[in-house]
Amino acid sequence: VADAHAAGLQVALAGALHAEDLPVVRATGADIVGVRSAACGDGRRSGSLEAARVRALRAACATPARASP
């Protein structure tokens, strides 16, 4: 991510991410995070977006990553 930013690029990360992954993704400095399945009913991207899931994902984005033991 740092190398891409140094080159003037933005970075997007996605791929079966869940709310509990977002603090770690945030710590990478990524500019964009894809969470389609995590935002949809039943955790399936074919489901409808659920406002409660979107709120939880947004809150997770604001949570700092925990340090590894």
Max Cα-Cα span within the chain: 38
Q: Note the pLDDT tens digit of each residue in 7-53.
A: 999 999 998 898 888 888 888 999 999 999 999 988 888 889 999 99
In DSSP notation, 3-59 reads HHHHTT---EEESS--GGGHHHHHHHT-SEEE-HHHHBGGG-TTSPB-HHHHHHHHH
Query: Is residue 67 left, alpha or beta, with left meaning phi > 0 and alpha meaning psi from -120 to 50?
Result: beta
Confidence label for 54 from pLDDT (cuts 50, 70 and 90): very high
Q: How far apart are CA 43 and CA 63, in angstroms?
A: 21
Is the pTM value of this prediction over 0.85? no
